[in-house]
Homo-oligomer: A and B are copies of this chain.
Amino acid sequence: MDAQLPSAATHDQPGEVDERWSTALTAIAPNSVMVRGYHLDELMGRLSFPDAVYLLLMGELPTRTIGRMLDAILVSVIDHGVTPPSTLAARNVAASGAPLKDAVAAGILGFGPYHGGDIESCMRFLDQGLSLIRGGWTWANAAQKLVDDWAHANTAPPPGFGHRLHTQDPRAPRLFQLAMELELEGEHVRMLRALERALNERHAHFGRLLPANVDGAIAAISADLGFSYELGNAIFLISRLPGLIAHAHEERMRQEPMRRIDPKDHVYDGSRERRLPEGRK
């Protein structure tokens, strides 16, 4: 077919190598959309959105347990109130009357190394430990070494541990519990646990206990599921997008344009505390 031939001769940079470039994600043809080889209309109603996310990013269908784990991870950081910088960036943009997508894009830009990006840093930190293990260290010694080196250079906690607000981030133990129940714990979770213990022994240095936070749990579990650094961070983006949307939308619906948003000066006036109905447990 003509379309498969290289087209070098027709371009305006003489001598440029111009072979067709390739994509392995989605094949589009008239009346057909195939994602990783599956017809999208076949997937709809049969594959859950988290399963489809896994398929698109990783190239294959997840197992049932991996699909359930990813689903829970996506729920775990769907929102964290008004104070993260990403949320405040989104709300400030919304306050100017800009469209929703602009507020959301600004929010995504507000995922920096200190927020969101922490997942990647934690994955790299865990891999440093695992490299020691492969070099023959014990888990305890490897963790001790990482924590010592970190503490030597920093008073701030290492990525994935501690939280500026929560002394025990409630989302992390729940993710670990699910990983255990679904039999998905691997070496990254084990390293995170070892680091947690080593940090406990150094809590005087950091001025407080530093249990793993939700970023640490997502980092360890998603590394065990085979996600790369970059895609580990991407999971956070997918999960938090609805949160950014909800805040930008609420800003526009409930607040005056151009107000100056004080992140500290707010109250919660939403639904009272409630429990899932029996049928949803």
**Residues of A bordering B, CB below 8 Å:** 2-7, 9-14, 16, 18, 20-28, 30-50, 52-53, 56-57, 59, 61, 68, 71-72, 74-76, 78-83, 85-86, 88-89, 92-93, 95-106, 108-117, 164-171, 173-175, 178, 230-231, 233-234, 237-239, 241-243, 245-247, 249-250, 252, 254-255, 257-277, 280-281
In the assembled complex, the Cα of A254 lies from the Cα of B20 at a distance in Å of 13
With contacts A31-B168, A97-B114 taken as known, whether A264 is within 8 angstroms of B267 at the C-beta atoms is: no
Chain B contacts of A93 at CB under 8 A? 85-86, 89, 106, 109-110, 112
With contacts A12-B3, A14-B3, A245-B237 taken as known, whether A92 is within 8 angstroms of B110 at the C-beta atoms is: yes
User: Which of B22, B39, B175 interacts with A268 by CB under 8 Å?
Assistant: B22
Least CB distance from A217 to B in Å reads 10
Chain B contacts of A164 at CB under 8 A? 258
With contacts A28-B81, A42-B275, A93-B85 taken as known, whether A268 is within 8 angstroms of B112 at the C-beta atoms is: no
Contact present for A105 and B108 (CB under 8 Å)? yes
Contact present for A106 and B104 (CB under 8 Å)? no
With contacts A44-B171, A269-B24 taken as known, whether A111 is within 8 angstroms of B96 at the C-beta atoms is: yes
Chain B contacts of A81 at CB under 8 A? 23, 25-28, 33
Contact present for A11 and B7 (CB under 8 Å)? yes
Contact present for A47 and B263 (CB under 8 Å)? no
* A49 nearest CB neighbor, chain B only: B74
Chain B contacts of A276 at CB under 8 A? 38, 42-43, 46-47, 61
Given contacts A30-B167, A99-B112, 4 further A-B contacts (CB under 8 A): A2-B9, A33-B80, A46-B276, A57-B242
